[in-house]
Chains A and B, each alone.
Chain A
Amino acid sequence: MNEITPSSGGNNEPANEAHSHAPAQLGYSPVAEIPHRLRVTDTDPKAARRAERQVAAMFTLSMVFVILSVIAYVVIDKYAVLYIPVLGEVGASNVVLGLTFGLAVLLIGAGAIQWAKKLMPDVEVVQERHDMVSEKEDDNLAAANYERGKEESGFARYKMIRRSLIGAMALLPIPIIVVLRDLWITPPGENPTEILSTTMWTKGKRIISDGTYMPVRPEDLPVGGLVSALPEGILEVQEEEHNLNARGKAAIILVRMDPEQIRSQQGEGWDYNGILAYSKICTHVGCPIALYEQRTHHLLCPCHQSTFDLADSGAVIFGPAARNMPQLPISVDEEGYLIATQDFAVPVGPSFWERDKA
């Protein structure tokens, strides 16, 4: 290859000629023919002893920190709080354990590296590489063995055996895949499309506010206000089903705006005196939405910033969502509480393959 001898360099001549080409001793690789500068610890025994003391000190300190960490574990109350500038109020136990244990570990590492750098040889040595490719002999041997195996088994001759074996092996994984079917133990008669397309909302279902779980009257909502709401009976359903599935679909937001400002809705008269109910679950990938700007009637998803105009049928005005926020038609019952007049007309939440078949 392109071996350029360093001698043409002139002013950067190798600094010492300590490396003779002595025959390599057993266990020693030949020293690389590169200039090498001696360290202080190589020439000054005092410096070497100093380095030795440093390394030993680090290992000893590590032991001290181990003991301190055990003491800290026992002594410090686990609820004790410590004020540290910059960090603020922190758990005392956590900080002290982290510091003591961390330093105990770190010092072992620092000691080992100091030892390697100051006291162990820093002369680079050379080893030859060997090509990855096998010797011709091994190559031939492998090929011969393969041929023998092919011959003795008759894999090439017994066409029927070969084909049936390939077929058998190809089919074998099928049960492993099939058996995954019951990852969802499907209740009889149910299918995903239907489940995703229906929610708890039915005609006459009262709207209750999230948090207080009390039914909502129109007058509870000021113009410009937003309330997160749920169908009445949600807690009972959750209790019965032991999950939050119903909540994940039925969550809505109620907003009230001046009826004059409502430019369009998804259905004729789906509002009640300027009160609109929209699904709370984003049509992009399903984050709950509640960032509402009352002046512009824009609803912004905090996850991926899809923006919907609630005064205009919940249309997408920016961001990655493709579908309008589904609107829930509402009214009031004879007692004056807000109710749904039917379920959502379209599936709520993120799109899916069969969505438009629903």
Chain B
Amino acid sequence: MSTTTDHPVEQIGGATAKYVDQRLGSNKFLGRNLGKVFPDHWSFMLGEIALYSFIVVLLTGTFLTLFYNPSMVEVVYNGSYVPLKGVQMSEAYASSLDISFEVRGGLLIRQMHHWSALIFVAAMAVHMFRVFFTGAFRKPREFNWLVGVGLTALALGAGFTGYSLPDDLLSGTGLQIIRGILQSIPLIGTWAAFLVFGGEFPGTEIIPRLYAAHILLIPGIILALITVHLMMVWTQKHTQFPGPGRTNTNVVGYPLLPVYMAKAGGFFFIVFGIIALIGGLVTVNPIWLFGPYTPDQVSAGTQPDWYIGWLDGALRLMPNWESVIAGFTISWNVLIPSVVIPGILFTGLALYPFLEAWATGDKREHNLLERPRNAPVRTGIGVAAIVFYGILWIGGGNDVIAAAFNLSFNILSWTLRISLIILPPIAFLVTKRICLGLQRKDREKLLHGYESGRVLRLPHGEFIEVHQPLNYKELAVISAKEDLPVLPAPVKTDPDGVRNPSYRVDQLRHKLSSFFLRDNIERPTDAEIEAGQAHAAHSAGLEAPLHEYEELDQDPVGHGGVLHHPGMPMTNQEQVDQRQ
């Protein structure tokens, strides 16, 4: 790397770069990558928010470890928070109170930690929606989708273990529920619960153990996976939305240095700053109000952090099934909502890219994102999953909702139970139909241009609506649609009478592919699009000469309709001829 300037700071920088390069060959990497192009879109910032809030979580969490004491030894509180003076509590809870009241800035850091954790999970979820609905998980990015699913699961674990650490009444109740869930696992559940808690619930082991998981194990794995996640993005280059000049084989955007670095780096400070402001202004998890944990007390209207709400909702909505088989108890009422449903959801998420690629037979590399409408079945499945999740989430607050809106709690629960089964399929169908409608509209636009809404009466009396050609941006976006054919139906036996050994699998694949693709509205060919746009341009052209006479039309003695002036074309054809 050669520098042409002579500022002393740059000289030192240049010398350092040389020194490092001689040992690591780093300039090769810098030369190739400082100008690396990143595409721009607001939705690409969602993943950035997740990353930055995680950095804030790490920074604030490190500060908290300096003061927090993960011990369940009972002490008598003697801090400055008067209502709890003299109360017996664990050292974990007492030190959490001290962070909140005695350490200057402690409450700010604690609240920033909690808020950034909430934002971390939320940003991940929305980032995942973006990736799902735009098909960014398709080849070659399936591995990164898997890493993302793993990160999401770990984020839930990180959140829950952290939520439990203050050992207040609310968090202890959460652990009580975890104990119940562990015990519901067939065969090994009872022992699993005893091993996790180091004996009977609540014991004195769980807080130090959660602490180890929360500050070392889980964040360590998250950090490693984030590194892998970003390295894959780097190697594969970011996907981009379709647009003018953007193809499947290029990337259009801003170079890393300086624009992307300034924007992304600046955005880190914005996320950090906003979290600090929220941490200063908005109370989160006021543990001092809940009191220390004891297994025989609870407060009404208990709510977990938002990202656990759906699991709590599943526990609430599940019917009370339990069976005793050969003398052994299986608690379906706990096992299904808290183990089976999350298991299915996360497995489904992880497998989806592979299932879709198999079903559609799509083996192409995709660097251009797909508009959600152009994959109606995928979009439908995504919306159905969100509706399913959303109902469980509402279920997690059913007592609060029933109280707030003065509803019958039992009717609300039954409504949610039924909705959970019938609404997702309805959401799927409605979404799919909307997507197909939008596809039709797109096709219409490509073939006939925009309906301008302006009705024109031609000199010979004909009324037409002026169509306008699409602007270059929209044209590029809409015409980027790619169609896949439905996989052909397999034959059972070939002409020589030999049985097709993979008939059943091929048949299934044919059906799935048809499910995904058959309703697709075909994109017009390039020639058709060009003709359509030209026609629209022509229609817009018809209107133009009339504007030439607009000033004359201000004449108050007009005779209605379109005025005719000398030299103005009399017929459609005349007008066209004149234009040409």
- Interface residues of chain A, those whose CB is within 8 Å of chain B, are 1-4, 6, 8-12, 14, 27-29, 32-35, 73, 78-79, 87, 90-91, 93-99, 101-113, 115-117, 120-122, 124-129, 131-132, 180-181, 183-185, 192-193, 195-196, 210, 228, 230, 242-245, 247-249, 251, 280-281, 284-291, 302-306, 316, 318-323, 349-357
For B194, what are the chain A residues with a Cβ–Cβ distance below 8 Å?
Answer: 184, 192, 195
| Closest residue of B by beta carbon distance from A351 | B331
Given contacts A103-B273, A103-B277, A12 and B530 within 8 Å (CB-CB): no
Given contacts A128-B250, A302-B298, A183 and B177 within 8 Å (CB-CB): no
In the complex, A132→B233 CA distance in Å? 12
For A305, what are the chain B residues with a Cβ–Cβ distance below 8 Å?
Answer: 316, 398-399, 409, 413
Q: Contact between A4 and B475 (Cβ–Cβ < 8 Å)?
A: yes
Given contacts A98-B108, A180-B195, A351-B334, A106 and B277 within 8 Å (CB-CB): yes
For A104, what are the chain B residues with a Cβ–Cβ distance below 8 Å?
Answer: 273
Q: Contact between A106 and B37 (Cβ–Cβ < 8 Å)?
A: no
Asked if B253 is an interface residue, CB under 8 A from chain A, the answer is: yes
Not counting A9-B475, A286-B201, a sample of 6 additional A-B residue pairs whose C-beta atoms are within 8 angstroms of each other reads A108-B273, A228-B296, A280-B296, A302-B399, A350-B331, A354-B328
Name the interface residues of B508-565: CB closer than 8 Å to any CB of A: 523, 526, 529-530, 533-534, 537, 540
Name the interface residues of B304-331: CB closer than 8 Å to any CB of A: 312, 315-322, 324, 327-331
Asked if B486 is an interface residue, CB under 8 A from chain A, the answer is: no
For B367, what are the chain A residues with a Cβ–Cβ distance below 8 Å?
Answer: 129
| Closest residue of B by beta carbon distance from A124 | B252
Asked if B465 is an interface residue, CB under 8 A from chain A, the answer is: no
Q: Contact between A321 and B399 (Cβ–Cβ < 8 Å)?
A: no
Given contacts A109-B269, A113-B262, A29 and B104 within 8 Å (CB-CB): no
Given contacts A95-B281, A105-B269, A357-B327, A288 and B295 within 8 Å (CB-CB): yes
Given contacts A126-B250, A287-B176, A105 and B273 within 8 Å (CB-CB): yes
Asked if B507 is an interface residue, CB under 8 A from chain A, the answer is: no
For B409, what are the chain A residues with a Cβ–Cβ distance below 8 Å?
Answer: 305
For A28, what are the chain B residues with a Cβ–Cβ distance below 8 Å?
Answer: 35
Q: Contact between A8 and B537 (Cβ–Cβ < 8 Å)?
A: yes
Q: Contact between B276 and A351 (Cβ–Cβ < 8 Å)?
A: no
Q: Contact between A35 and B472 (Cβ–Cβ < 8 Å)?
A: yes
Q: Contact between A12 and B254 (Cβ–Cβ < 8 Å)?
A: no
In the complex, A271→B475 CA distance in Å? 80
For B320, what are the chain A residues with a Cβ–Cβ distance below 8 Å?
Answer: 284, 306, 316, 319-322
In the complex, A247→B276 CA distance in Å? 41
- Which interface residue of A304, A305, A357 has the most chain B CB atoms within 10 A? A304
Q: Contact between B184 and A350 (Cβ–Cβ < 8 Å)?
A: yes
For A319, what are the chain B residues with a Cβ–Cβ distance below 8 Å?
Answer: 316, 320, 413
| Closest residue of A by beta carbon distance from B175 | A286
| Closest residue of A by beta carbon distance from B529 | A4
Q: Contact between B252 and A242 (Cβ–Cβ < 8 Å)?
A: no
For B580, what are the chain A residues with a Cβ–Cβ distance below 8 Å?
Answer: none
Task: List 15 contacting pairs A-B, 8 Å CB cutoff, sorted by A.
Answer: A12-B472, A29-B35, A98-B276, A102-B274, A105-B269, A109-B268, A128-B249, A132-B365, A243-B202, A285-B177, A286-B176, A290-B297, A303-B312, A322-B320, A350-B183
Among the listed A120, A181, A210, A322, which residue makes an inter-chain contact with B333, where contact means beta carbons less than 8 Å apart? A322
Asked if B220 is an interface residue, CB under 8 A from chain A, the answer is: no
Shortest CB distance A55–B (Å) = 10
| Closest residue of A by beta carbon distance from B293 | A244
Given contacts A125-B252, A125-B255, A112 and B470 within 8 Å (CB-CB): no
Given contacts A109-B267, A243-B203, A351-B184, A120 and B328 within 8 Å (CB-CB): no
Q: Contact between A97 and B280 (Cβ–Cβ < 8 Å)?
A: yes
Q: Residues 57-75 of chain B: 1 if any A CB is under 8 Å from the residue's CB, otherwise 0?
A: 0000000000000001110
Q: Contact between A105 and B296 (Cβ–Cβ < 8 Å)?
A: no
Asked if B181 is an interface residue, CB under 8 A from chain A, the answer is: yes
Among the listed B193, B204, B271, which residue makes an inter-chain contact with A243, where contact means beta carbons less than 8 Å apart? B204
In the complex, A92→B273 CA distance in Å? 19
For B179, what are the chain A residues with a Cβ–Cβ distance below 8 Å?
Answer: 285-286, 350
In the complex, A27→B199 CA distance in Å? 64
Q: Contact between A102 and B276 (Cβ–Cβ < 8 Å)?
A: yes
Shortest CB distance A76–B (Å) = 8
Asked if B22 is an interface residue, CB under 8 A from chain A, the answer is: no
Asked if B471 is an interface residue, CB under 8 A from chain A, the answer is: yes
Q: Residues 171-210 of chain B: 1 if any A CB is under 8 Å from the residue's CB, otherwise 0?
A: 0010011011101111111110111111111111100000
Name the interface residues of B86-100: CB closer than 8 Å to any CB of A: none
Given contacts A184-B199, A305-B413, A320 and B318 within 8 Å (CB-CB): yes
| Closest residue of B by beta carbon distance from A187 | B199
| Closest residue of A by beta carbon distance from B189 | A353
Interface segment out of the listed B240-248, B351-359, B382-390, B422-430: B240-248
Among the listed B34, B272, B280, which residue makes an inter-chain contact with A98, where contact means beta carbons less than 8 Å apart? B280
Given contacts A29-B35, A129-B250, A245 and B180 within 8 Å (CB-CB): no
Q: Contact between A126 and B245 (Cβ–Cβ < 8 Å)?
A: yes
Q: Contact between A248 and B295 (Cβ–Cβ < 8 Å)?
A: yes
Q: Contact between A248 and B296 (Cβ–Cβ < 8 Å)?
A: yes
Q: Contact between A287 and B177 (Cβ–Cβ < 8 Å)?
A: yes
Name the interface residues of B258-275: CB closer than 8 Å to any CB of A: 258-259, 262-263, 265-275
Q: Contact between A109 and B272 (Cβ–Cβ < 8 Å)?
A: yes
In the complex, A113→B263 CA distance in Å? 5
Q: Contact between B108 and A94 (Cβ–Cβ < 8 Å)?
A: yes
| Closest residue of A by beta carbon distance from B205 | A183
Q: Contact between B470 and A98 (Cβ–Cβ < 8 Å)?
A: no
For B265, what are the chain A residues with a Cβ–Cβ distance below 8 Å?
Answer: 112
In the complex, A301→B531 CA distance in Å? 69
In the complex, A297→B379 CA distance in Å? 49
Q: Contact between B479 and A2 (Cβ–Cβ < 8 Å)?
A: yes
- Which interface residue of A14, A126, A131, A353 has the most chain B CB atoms within 10 A? A353
Among the listed B244, B298, B534, which residue makes an inter-chain contact with A287, where contact means beta carbons less than 8 Å apart? B298
For A106, what are the chain B residues with a Cβ–Cβ distance below 8 Å?
Answer: 269-270, 272-274, 276-277
Given contacts A78-B104, A180-B195, A184-B194, A322 and B272 within 8 Å (CB-CB): no
Q: Contact between A108 and B266 (Cβ–Cβ < 8 Å)?
A: yes
In the complex, A242→B267 CA distance in Å? 49
Shortest CB distance A129–B (Å) = 5
| Closest residue of A by beta carbon distance from B88 | A238
Q: Contact between B36 and A127 (Cβ–Cβ < 8 Å)?
A: yes
In the complex, A355→B204 CA distance in Å? 24
Asked if B294 is an interface residue, CB under 8 A from chain A, the answer is: yes
Among the listed A9, A116, A181, which residue makes an inter-chain contact with B469, where contact means beta carbons less than 8 Å apart? A9
Q: Contact between A290 and B298 (Cβ–Cβ < 8 Å)?
A: yes
In the complex, A32→B255 CA distance in Å? 12
For B40, what are the chain A residues with a Cβ–Cβ distance below 8 Å?
Answer: 124
Asked if B124 is an interface residue, CB under 8 A from chain A, the answer is: no
Given contacts A116-B266, A305-B399, A127 and B329 within 8 Å (CB-CB): no
In the complex, A355→B180 CA distance in Å? 13
Q: Contact between B413 and A8 (Cβ–Cβ < 8 Å)?
A: no
Q: Residues 23-36 of chain B: 1 if any A CB is under 8 Å from the residue's CB, otherwise 0?
A: 00000000000111
